[in-house]
Amino acid sequence: MTAITRFAPSPTGNLHVGNIRTALHNWFLARKAGGKFMLRIDDTDAERSREEYVEGIRADLAWLGLDFDGEERQSARLGHYEAAFETLKASGRVYRAYETAQELDLKRKVQLGRGLPPIYDRSALRLTEDDHAAKAADGTAPHWRFLLDHDSPIAWDDGVRGPQKFDAASLSDPVIRRADGSWLYMLPSAVDDIEMGITDVLRGEDHVSNTAVQVQMFEALDAAPPRFAHEALLMGKEGKLSKRLGSLGCESFRERGIEPEAIAALLARLGTSQPVEPIADRQALVASFDLGSFGRAPAKFDDADLDRLNTAIVHQMDYAAVKHRLPDGMDEAAWHAVRPNLMVVADAAEWWRIVTGPIDLPEFSDEDRGYLAQAAGVLDFSAGDPWHALTGTLKKTTGRKGKPLFLPLRQALTGMDHGPDMAELLLVLGEETARRRLERAAS
């Protein structure tokens, strides 16, 4: 069966690293199977949903390289949920209830005090039609709950967690529709998965109990449930859930100069038995994606790991992939020369400024100034490798070696104590600029 997965964000804010991980894994799952990856915008919360967030979600997915094969918006599918609701109503699988949040909280406290599980006690099922009529006369609208079948065991083979079993009697009948007629997550999501042909639902382990309920919803709607997999949640490096993870999104990654390939490389294998490596080839990550490698322990996200991966990815990037992001005039030779010294692509601008000048020089001793004057006199670009020709000649004529041989030359040519390989950088500087800088340092 062809895999069809979906990513279903609510447009009530920007995508954060947890959302990105979910989207990425569903994209991997679909692409590895040669299937489809669908985007579903869960915008039934009209009060909190914003169109700019919808546009932001699409833009972030595009930046991450996660192309999707179709898009649905829940706000355009309200009639579908109404039809499913009427089907459930006709079969007796939904019922009216009226308790307020405060009343439910009190019930839970009483149950806990008696050593009972804090689940809904189904007291609304004991209401008569006269009771409902009285509520209506008082202007009290009901909310609606899905009636779980306590005699039907709930089980599925989870793609990450293995065989799962739930006793329906240990679960609360979930509210699926509010008193104002708006929908909660459960029913619309199940209806969408059925009608969009979703075959695989990969999401966080915080949805496990939702899945148990939705398995019965699928059955009540005469549909086969998709394959479910629930992965461990992301945590901070300090060992507990980090509030900061919610603020880590594509915008902050872009501002820091993080490459989408680095994000994909880290999140593809974080929390799995596979090594996290700077793999820039997206297809290689797709080929190695395996739910069987996912662990049950929380996956720990560390910014430092992302920075290290990003640096390694940048060091692999070809000129063609970055030339539109480089300063005017910076060619392939210059990129190749400075690339090993970059943490992010934007750092290339500072090295290009050093190439194009002007540069600030340190104070040189009289001895070093004489040495640099001699260097300016013997500099020869007719050889294919002017740097090694220069240092080879100076080593013979001055007896210098090591730091005294190389450091004054680097400082005179770049104004820096460290930096790119000078054999490459000298060619980028060119003979005229290099000789002028040596003569200036010597004076």
Which residue ranges are tagged as binding site for ATP?
Answer: 243
Residue 370 · residue 400 · CB < 8 Å: no
The answer to whether 187 touches 217, Cβ cutoff 8 Å, is: yes
Amino acid symbol at 107: K
Is 175 within 8 Å of 100 (Cβ atoms)?
Answer: no
Residue length of the chain:
443
Q: Are 291 and 159 in contact (CB under 8 A)?
A: yes
Instruction: Write the DSSP string, 373-436.
Output: HHHHHH---SSS-HHHHHHHHHHHHH---SHHHHHHHHHHHHS-SS-S-HHHHHHHH-HHHHHH
Strand 4-7: give its sheet, edge to edge: 4-7, 36-41, 71-73
DSSP string, 41-59: E----TTT--HHHHHHHHH
* Binding site, annotated residues: 243
**Cβ-contact 242, 235 below 8 angstroms:** yes
Read off the DSSP letter of residue 15: -
Question: How far apart are alpha carbons 222 and 105 in whole angstroms?
Answer: 34
